[in-house]
Amino acid sequence: MKARYILYFITAILIALFILTISFPRKGINIAGVQLRFPSLEKILTRKTVEEPEIPDLEEPVFTAQDSIRLSLQDTLNYYRELVENQLGKFYFPYDDVGYFDGFFEQIQTAKSLQKVIRILHYGDSQIELDRISFNLRKYFQEKFGGGGPGLLPAVQTIPTATVYQRWSGDYTTYSAYGDGNRRKNGNYGFFCKCIGMTGENRFFVKASQNLDVPHKMRTFSKIKLYFFNKNGDFSAVLSDNLKKEKEALVANSEGLQSFLWELDTPLTTFTLTLKGNADIYGISVDGKYGVSVDNIPLRGSAGTLFTQLNDSLTRLMFQESNVGLVILQFGGNAVPAISSQKSIGFYVNNLQRQIQFFKRINPQGKILLIGPSDMAKRVEGELRSYPLLGQLVEAMKKMANDNGVAFWDIYEVMGGENSMIAWYKHGLAGEDLIHFTPKGANRIGEILVNSFDNLYQLYLSKQNLSTQNSTVQP
């Protein structure tokens, strides 16, 4: 082809594109449900690069907890108060009360002396699947306050987890308040918003992860508890170890919500439960002898507005039975694509408020932490940008949480705010969907959350130490 023909072709293309820029409708054209857009001449000439915030570094304290003894108790208290109020990943408290978690810290401090297991239930959407973020919390709390095992496990695990391999076999039906599974009018779903109804003989097998990155404490089981609702007749359970040696066989012959508990002198890393009867199975807790258990409960596709479908009475009894000290609700991401106006923000936040009121009603002594959505990005008029109104949704969730006496933690802010997901993706911390974190990114978020909890705990200790000193010097 001669050079002049190539020039004619390129010129024709440029003219056609120019005509499109001045004539294409600003709102685009909808063809078979697909919205086609073309940038205007003004936008092309004045095009600006989307600003991406820098990824914040994890802030370390200037001195460690051990070094704090070199300062006066009042100086230490002031230091940690300043850190808690201004750190990366700060908590937002109702009435700015930095002592919001003091009762919870006191509870887990005494778990060892009382030989109790205190539970932290971490509910969330797919951002916490594979034990993400929960793993960081579990590692921190168990190292600091004791505890072991992976925590609560559903009877049938549809989403793999980092800490254990598990398998269920037998004749059962799944009931669920979300996703797949049969619905129930009575709301008897249990911890996981999902349970199974079994008949005949069923088996539940658990084996600890062989991954050495999983701490030894999480891979050993000293206390195993089965939560079930016996429907009629005898219901029995036999626990056996990996050598098929049977432990104590337990039998229930009355109907209703019950639990079987096995306290083991020698911890296990593998076990099988053989169950016989007609019962609903709500879950199995796999813990250490005492301390803290952090339960990872991902609800794929949920916006966190399903808890009011649960039966109040049954859920309250289960929470009391299992010593739930803290409920973490990490939601909002699945609501973001549907948020198109202030009205839709208000509708979602009001619905979320009802869920918080549910947990306050069934577990009035426990604390609640609401964690908002991460930044999420998509193409807006040809450019990668945060979802519109995402920042406003986060602020509305924060205000609602504090107005209802609940703490809030802001992942969106921790990431860097608007358009930060793009930067996280470029640094390998977020996936190609620009919605979910990679394992590396989830670990970064988990580390920052743990750091925030630890700084708050150091503040709590500083207050306790100062109070003890003041009471000692009183005449």
Q: What is the pLDDT of residues 9-27, one digit of tens each?
A: 677 776 766 676 666 566 5
Q: Over pLDDT 90: what percentage of the chain?
A: 73
> Taking residues 120-134, what's their average pLDDT?
97
Spell out a b/e string for 373-384, using b for 16 or more CB atoms within 10 Å of the CB, else e. Answer: bbbbbbeeeebe
C-alpha torsion angle, residues 454, 459, 465, 469 (rounded to 10): 170
User: 33 falls in which pLDDT band (50, 70, 90)?
Assistant: low
If you average pLDDT over every residue of the chain, what do you get? 89
Q: What is the pLDDT of residue 448?
A: 97
The CB density around residue 217, as the number of other CB atoms within 10 Å, is 18
For residue 128, give the DSSP letter: G
- Measuring CA to CA, how many Å separate 418 from each of 54, 292, 341, 408, 424? 11, 35, 18, 19, 12
pLDDT > 50? residue 109: yes
pLDDT > 60? residue 59: no
Phi and psi at residue 169, in whole multiples of 5°?
-135, 145
d(CA 138, CA 140): 5
User: At which residue do the structure tokens 């508990």 appear?
Assistant: 261
Q: What is the pLDDT of residue 470?
A: 66
The least confident of 230-244, 370-384, 461-475 is 461-475
Q: Do residues 182 and 175 make contact, with C-beta atoms less than 8 angstroms apart? A: yes
Spell out a b/e string for 25-44, using b for 16 or more CB atoms within 10 Å of the CB, else e. Answer: eeeeeeeeeeeeebeeeeee
> Taking residues 68-92, what's their average pLDDT?
83
User: In sequence order, what DSSP letters do the residues of 30-41 get, joined into one string?
Assistant: EETTEEE----H
Residue 312's H or E segment, with its range, is helix 312-322
Q: What is the pLDDT of residue 457?
A: 97
The least confident of 131-140, 245-254, 427-436, 443-452 is 245-254
pLDDT > 70? residue 138: yes
> Taking residues 197-201, what's their average pLDDT?
97
pLDDT > 50? residue 279: yes
- Strands 117-124, 91-92: pairing is unpaired
User: At which residue do the structure tokens 């208290």 appear?
Assistant: 77
Q: What is the pLDDT of residue 415?
A: 97
Q: Retrieve residue 15's tokens.
A: 């003219």
List pLDDT tens digits, range 352-364: 999 999 999 999 9
Q: What is the pLDDT of residue 379?
A: 84
User: At which residue do the structure tokens 């010593």 appear?
Assistant: 323
User: 277 falls in which pLDDT band (50, 70, 90)?
Assistant: very high
- Measuring CA to CA, how many Å separate 279 from each of 218, 232, 309, 397? 29, 8, 21, 39
SS3 327: strand
The CB density around residue 256, as the number of other CB atoms within 10 Å, is 11
User: 351 falls in which pLDDT band (50, 70, 90)?
Assistant: very high
Q: What is the pLDDT of residue 465?
A: 84
- One-letter amino acid at 295 equals D
List pLDDT tens digits, range 172-186: 999 999 988 899 999
Give the closest residue to 282 by CA, choosing from 244, 314, 234: 314
Q: Retrieve residue 232's tokens.
A: 């009629």
Q: Do residues 404 and 352 make contact, with C-beta atoms less than 8 angstroms apart? A: no
- Measuring CA to CA, how many Å separate 225 from each of 15, 151, 258, 260, 281? 74, 10, 10, 6, 11
- One-letter amino acid at 163 equals T
Highest CATH level, class, for 149-289: mainly beta
The least confident of 191-205, 233-247, 297-311, 384-398 is 233-247
pLDDT > 70? residue 36: no
pLDDT > 80? residue 229: yes
pLDDT > 80? residue 137: yes
Beta strands in 177-269 (DSSP E): 194-208, 221-241, 246-252, 256-268
Q: In sequence order, which residues have a C-beta less than 8 Å from that of residue 129 and are 6 or more positions away?
A: 159, 298, 300
pLDDT > 70? residue 99: yes
User: At which residue do the structure tokens 């296990």 appear?
Assistant: 268
59-147+290-475 and 149-289 have identical folds: no
Domain layout of the chain by residue ranges? 1-39, 59-147+290-475, 149-289
Q: What is the pLDDT of residue 130?
A: 94
Q: How far is C-alpha 222 from the geometric centre of its chain's CA atoms? A: 25
pLDDT > 60? residue 231: yes
pLDDT > 70? residue 39: no
- Strands 117-124, 324-330: pairing is parallel
List pLDDT tens digits, range 428-475: 999 999 999 999 999 999 999 999 999 999 999 999 887 676 665 454
Q: What is the pLDDT of residue 62?
A: 45
Q: Retrieve residue 180's tokens.
A: 């797949």
Q: Retrieve residue 19's tokens.
A: 């005509």
Q: Do residues 109 and 116 make contact, with C-beta atoms less than 8 angstroms apart? A: no
The CB density around residue 1, as the number of other CB atoms within 10 Å, is 6
Q: What is the pLDDT of residue 38?
A: 54
Which CATH number is 59-147+290-475's, of 2.60.40.10, 3.40.50.1110, 3.90.930.12, 3.40.50.300? 3.40.50.1110
Q: Do residues 307 and 355 make contact, with C-beta atoms less than 8 angstroms apart? A: yes
